[in-house]
Structure 1
Amino acid sequence: MYRLLFSLVLRHLDPERIHHLTVRALALLSVLPVVRKLLHRALAPRDPALRVSAFGVHFPSPFGLAAGFDKDAACAEALSALGFGHVEVGTVTAHAQPGNPRPRLFRVIGERAVINRMGFNNAGAVAAARRLRRTRGVPAIVGVNIGKTKVVPESEAADDYVTSAKELAPLADYLVVNVSSPNTPGLRNLQAVELLRPLLAAVKQVADSTPRRTPLLVKIAPDLADDDIDAVADLALELGLDGIIATNTTIKHSGETGGLSGRPLKARSVEVLRRLRGRVGDRLTLVSVGGVENVDDVWERLLAGATLVQGYTGMIYGGPLWAHTLHRDLSRRLKRHGVKSVTEVIGRTAA
């Protein structure tokens, strides 16, 4: 049904408008407790074999929604009710900002991909914190992804991230430092170790000071050279980070200016994951994102060493039951292979 709706209607409408309408509908669902609980009962992952633990947090499944969809923490509960094992909100910046001029979101239907140059449009850390303080009506693991405010110079980036962390770290199940979006000028420069070290150290001090010690991860780009990937991995170990998310969108494409996500990113995302696993082993939690469309993709990432897997673009083409279907297929695959827990699969083919 969704494929028909997408083919006949949605593909012809402005993608950002559709996105905003979807978020508003889900935000409404988040304040309708009866409907939300019914959906959660029907669609959320319940197979005990899917449960995983990472950095002290217990996840109902390894598969969740990547940052970029729920930028302002407006509908995390509704997304959890649709079947995602965790929801990463953001990217949130310390100060509200409108993002880049429109149009800034483009479908690449033939490649099942999306190009965006949104530019961290969001209402700011204080607004996101206000929403995150609401009591969760259904179980939901919510990570918060933070980035640099566009007008803040590179020399003040650490202070800007710290401002966001102070607001959001106490309310997050885990915190992510995003230094890898291609749509904020100069942001990817912060992936250089000499700039990244003081930034991560400052944010980690905030995360460590929360009552529960909020786990801290860093999100990297697929376009980093292999030596730079190794350097970031070594830095994460040195600073005692909890994990690395790999990868963000790529700028290596021939379409509209912006970051490309979806199927074309698949091969490089897996390549980066395998390199990270070879560098850090199981000392860090690895979260794989980029080109995840179906159970085969999730299975491949788990075997390669990812504890958690995320998707986003796949939902645009797969529809609202995408996560539920993927979890159903993953449960069936575990049973077919005689595997009692998904944790037995993680890293099985890692070098």
Structure 2
Amino acid sequence: MYALLFRFVLRRMDPERAHHLAFRVIRLLPGFLRGLSRPHPSLAVDALGLRFASPFGLAAGFDKEASGIRGLGVLGFGHVEVGTITAVPQPGNPKPRLFRLVADRAVVNRMGFNNAGAEAAAERLARERRRRGRPIIGVNIGKSRVVAVEDALDDYLASTRLLAPLADYLVVNVSSPNTPGLRGLQELDRLAPLLEAVRDAAEGVPVLVKIAPDLTDEQVLRIAALCVDLGLPGLVATNTTLSRAGLRSDPAEIAAAGEGGLSGAPLAARSIEVLRLVRRAVPDDFVVISVGGVDTGKDVAERLAAGATLVQGYTAFLYRGPFWARGINSVLRSAASG
């Protein structure tokens, strides 16, 4: 049913408008479908001092404002990473800024961290934490566009102080390609003091860092080693890519989409490479959240077998529809029992 809806209706609709319409429905779900897609207890995973109902969760970028957490939990996601949230409210980049590449089951986005700011998100998160039955909440924070890269540390700390007390875990996003200068924060001389300061300001809330797939293997290993040295419990790998290599979509369609981060199926191979690279270099109890190109339950099982502690997806949600997480959980349960 969803495949037909996508093919004949949603595919013809502006992607960002379709997202907002779907999100309105998701926000209503807790009142109608409570417990419909709750993961089986056998899928629970202990990580970061938390108990995740399923190893599969929703990556940052879908719920930018922390306003649909319970509805997404109803759909079967074991955790929801909200954001990216910035200290200063910002509208993001000019529209259009979200494009489908259907032949590649991919998306190009240059959203630019559009969000109402950390104070508004804190109010919503405070309400969510008081409600029962919610999934684990990760909070992804990024640099405000109006803040110079040289002043990024104080900007991240402003978000940390507001949001860490309301998060189950916190993710420092230094890898989005859509904020000028942001990826430069992955250089160790800038990253080390940033992560150390956020770690201290978070006061015991687990802090992870999200890295780009476009880093060299050597850079990935250096960041993984830094996380271990700083006592961080894990990292998220990977964000969207700037690469357009190997795409099957019409070159004119790719050119029309323009600049931005590519997500979806084309990212899978590099994401798995980074996962395996990190897993070999870190202690067994170091948490690796693998994201990028995840589509099916088999994909999630492959990431777990390759050493992922948890797995996230996002782009395939747009192609698979509302029962995507439920289906993945069903496959994982069948694999575990078989």
TM bucket (normalised to shorter chain) is over 0.9
Question: 1:75-100 CA distances to partner (integer Å, 9 max, x unpaired)?
Answer: 01110011101000000000100000
Match of 1:308 in 2: 310
Q: CA deviation at 1:27?
A: 2.7
TM-score by length of 2: 0.94
Amino acid at match of 2:201: V
**Quick check: 1:40 aligned with 2:34?**
yes
Match of 2:218 in 1: 227
For 2:236 and 2:34, locate their aligned partners in 1 and report how far apart those are by CA, in whole Å: 26
Q: CA deviation at 1:40?
A: 3.5
SS at the partner of 2:262?
strand
Contact 2:69 2:134 in 1 (8 A): no
For 1:11 and 1:329, locate their aligned partners in 2 and report how far apart those are by CA, in whole Å: 27
Q: CA deviation at 1:136?
A: 1.8
Q: CA deviation at 1:29?
A: 3.8
Question: 1:161-214 CA distances to partner (integer Å, 9 max, x unpaired)?
Answer: 00000000000000000000000000000000100011111100111x2xxx21
Question: 1:50-102 CA distances to partner (integer Å, 9 max, x unpaired)?
Answer: 11111101001100000000000010111001110100000000010000011
SS at the partner of 2:36?
helix
**Quick check: 1:65 aligned with 2:45?**
no
Match of 1:245 in 2: 236
Tell me how large the CA RMSD over aligned residues is. 1.0
Contact 1:86 1:140 in 2 (8 A): yes
Amino acid at match of 1:132: L
For 1:27 and 1:156, locate their aligned partners in 2 and report how far apart those are by CA, in whole Å: 36
Match of 2:190 in 1: 195
Q: CA deviation at 1:21?
A: 1.7
Contact 1:40 1:138 in 2 (8 A): no
Contact 2:57 2:312 in 1 (8 A): yes
Match of 1:26 in 2: 26
Contact 1:40 1:80 in 2 (8 A): no
SS at the partner of 1:121?
coil
Match of 1:347 in 2: none
For 1:163 and 1:199, locate their aligned partners in 2 and report how far apart those are by CA, in whole Å: 12
Q: CA deviation at 1:242?
A: 1.2
The equivalences for 1:262-341 within 5 A come to: 262-336=264-338
Match of 2:105 in 1: 112
Which structure 2 residue ranges, 5 or more long, are not aligned?
246-253
The equivalences for 1:162-241 within 5 A come to: 162-207=157-202, 209=203, 213-241=204-232
For 1:244 and 1:41, locate their aligned partners in 2 and report how far apart those are by CA, in whole Å: 30
SS at the partner of 2:332?
helix
For 2:29 and 2:336, locate their aligned partners in 1 and report how far apart those are by CA, in whole Å: 32
Which structure 1 residue ranges, 5 or more long, are not aligned?
337-351
- The one of 138, 147, 172 equivalent to 1:152 is 147
**Quick check: 1:95 aligned with 2:78?**
no
Match of 2:263 in 1: 261
For 1:302 and 1:16, locate their aligned partners in 2 and report how far apart those are by CA, in whole Å: 31
Q: Percent identity?
A: 58
Number of aligned positions between the proteins? 325
Contact 2:53 2:135 in 1 (8 A): no
TM-score by length of 1: 0.91
Question: 1:249-288 CA distances to partner (integer Å, 9 max, x unpaired)?
Answer: 0001163210000000000000000000111141410000
Contact 2:241 2:261 in 1 (8 A): yes
For 1:42 and 1:48, locate their aligned partners in 2 and report how far apart those are by CA, in whole Å: 14
Contact 2:149 2:181 in 1 (8 A): yes
Q: CA deviation at 1:138?
A: 2.2
The equivalences for 1:69-88 within 5 A come to: 69-88=62-81
Contact 2:175 2:186 in 1 (8 A): yes
SS at the partner of 2:172?
strand
Question: 1:287-320 CA distances to partner (integer Å, 9 max, x unpaired)?
Answer: 0000000011111100111010000001100000
Amino acid at match of 2:26: L
